[in-house]
Structure 1
Amino acid sequence: MKQEIEFIKFNPTQNMTVLIKTSHPAEEYQHIASRIMSYDHVYAEQVGFIVPPLRREAAAHLHMAGGEFCGNACMALAAYIASEQEMGPQDFTELLLEVSGTEQLIACQVKKRLNEYDCQVTMPLPKQIERQTIKYEGIDLDLIIVRYEEFIHIVVEVDEFDDAIQKRAQNLARLLGLTLGDKLIGILLYKPQSEELAPLIYVPGLDSLIWERGCGSGTASLGAYLAWKTGREITARIKQPGGSIQVVAQFDEKGLGSIHIEGSVGIVAQGKAFIDVQHLNLNKGEAHEYGHGFYQTVE
């Protein structure tokens, strides 16, 4: 038996994102997302659900399949709402979103540019930034821990994105996912000399481990870290495999201020998908190539 699902597919910095328009019980989110994300289906890196907002001032509520927060998905939903307003080139709109993973309303600015939308999103501020050195897999690993309400990002400065450090990052993400209880674990490998970022995102609720082509929330965390490290406002265009995302992180005598990211979003597909209503049977430990990244179901 098949269930019909209405979806829109977006391209925010090649972090392919599917948003679901039809209403579904929350307990079905993870099953629907697992099928939508798979190579033999719509194929994406992440899935969110558009639901009515609780607060009157919000234009919509975005609930990610794993209950996590996602900056690129915020940009995608803002672009979709703007597209429904039939904006002309260079037209501009502002809106607020409710988003899973944070109590803060997310402010979005959207401007239409030919067939894409330029989006600016005000991001949640981290609750804490701290430096720790741990001994992991026989080496001393210098970590920057960026903590939020329900997720955590780890910044690791590296010289190269080699296989050894990527494998170590994958193992660390799995370990933290099992021990911390957060809805999202991000390991952000950062090359300071070239301002390049390789973001690894693990969502325990979906058992998904993905090297993303572009990560909005990871870019915001990196900006927060750089502002905290230097003690000044940071404006940086962070290069990632799918393109660049700009971050502006304010910093003054009171500490870290507002953070916003800017990127472009394309709407690449819209239509109906069909999902088997029976639960998806994934073999534990089975690894899959996942776009330009890595997807794995975890023991």
Structure 2
Amino acid sequence: MKQEIDFIKFNPTQNMTVLVKTDHPAETYPHIAAQIMSYDNVYAEQVGFIGGSVKPEAAARLEMAGGEFCGNACMALAAFIASENKRVSAEFTEIALEVSGTDQLIRCQVKKQQNEYFCQVTMPLPEQIERRTVKYEGIDMEIVIVRYREFIHIVIEVEAFDEPIRKRAQALARLLGLTLGDKLIGILLYNSQSEELAPLIFVPQLDSLIWERGCGSGTASVGAYLAWSRQRKIVQHIKQPGGAIKVMAEWNEAEVKQITIEGSVGIVAQGKAFIDA
């Protein structure tokens, strides 16, 4: 028997995102997401579920299928809310969201630009940033750990995005997923010379391991890392396979004080998906 799912599909920097409008029990999220993400269904890199918010100042709640946090999905939901409310003025409209993976209210500034929505999102701040040298597969690797409440990003500076380093990143992501218990593991390969990022995202609950074409939270973590390592404010366009995402990371004395990312979101499809119940 097929189950009917109301969905909207978005394009935030080619990080194809599906948000589900219909209500479903939380325990079914991984099953629904796995089918929607598959090549023979709607096809996307991630799936979130739109729900009602608890905090009165929040317009909605976004629950990602694996309970993780996702910056691009925040942009997508903010763009959808703006489109539904016909907020198409040339000025920014602020939309606050409750989002899985963080207890911070996420504030999004949205305005329509031609057929897309331009978004600025204030991102969660990392709880800790530290540099470590680890021995992995017989090789000494220098990594930077950017830790959040429910997810972790590992920044690894590289000179090239070759196949051996990609395979090493995939194995490391799965190993950390088994040992750490976080809802999301991100391995962020970053070339500081070209300002390019190759983001690998692993969501253990979904067994989803994807080289994303654009990663909002990964961009924020790279910005936090750069501000922390250089001990100054960072404003930078981080180039990714799907396009660039701008990050602004404020630095104050000994810590990162605020991180904002900017990007564009297109609404590319809306309708019904049919999955195995």
With normalisation by structure 2, the TM-score equals 0.99
Q: Which amino acid aligns with 2:145?
A: I
Match of 2:22? 22
Contact 1:4 1:275 in 2 (8 A): yes
Q: Which amino acid aligns with 1:62?
A: L
Identity fraction in percent: 74
1:92 deviates by: 2.5
Match of 1:189? 189
Match of 2:138? 138
Q: Secondary structure at the match of 1:125?
A: coil
Aligned mates of 1:80, 1:137 — CA distance in 2: 44
Q: What are the ranges of 5 or more consecutive residues in structure 1 without an aligned counterpart?
A: 278-299
Contact 1:146 1:221 in 2 (8 A): yes
Aligned mates of 1:120, 1:92 — CA distance in 2: 9
1:234-245 matched pairs, under 5 angstroms: 234-245=234-245
Superimposed CA distance per residue, residues 221-280 of structure 1 (whole angstroms, 9 cap, x where no aligned partner): 000000000000000000000000000000021421010100000000000011111xxx
- Corresponding pairs, count: 277
Q: Secondary structure at the match of 2:58?
A: coil
Aligned mates of 2:151, 2:223 — CA distance in 1: 16
1:172 deviates by: 0.2
Q: Which runs of 4+ in 1 moved over 4 A?
A: none
Aligned mates of 2:217, 2:186 — CA distance in 1: 9
2:85 aligned with 1:85:
yes
Contact 2:53 2:61 in 1 (8 A): yes
1:1-299 matched pairs, under 5 angstroms: 1-88=1-88, 90-277=90-277
1:95 deviates by: 1.2
1:89 deviates by: 5.5
Q: Secondary structure at the match of 2:80?
A: helix
Q: Secondary structure at the match of 1:159?
A: coil
Q: Which amino acid aligns with 1:133?
A: T
Q: Secondary structure at the match of 2:247?
A: strand
Aligned mates of 1:203, 1:268 — CA distance in 2: 25
Contact 2:82 2:88 in 1 (8 A): no
Aligned mates of 2:42, 2:181 — CA distance in 1: 29
Aligned mates of 2:170, 2:254 — CA distance in 1: 35
Superimposed CA distance per residue, residues 18-71 of structure 1 (whole angstroms, 9 cap, x where no aligned partner): 000000000110000000000000000000000000111100000000000000
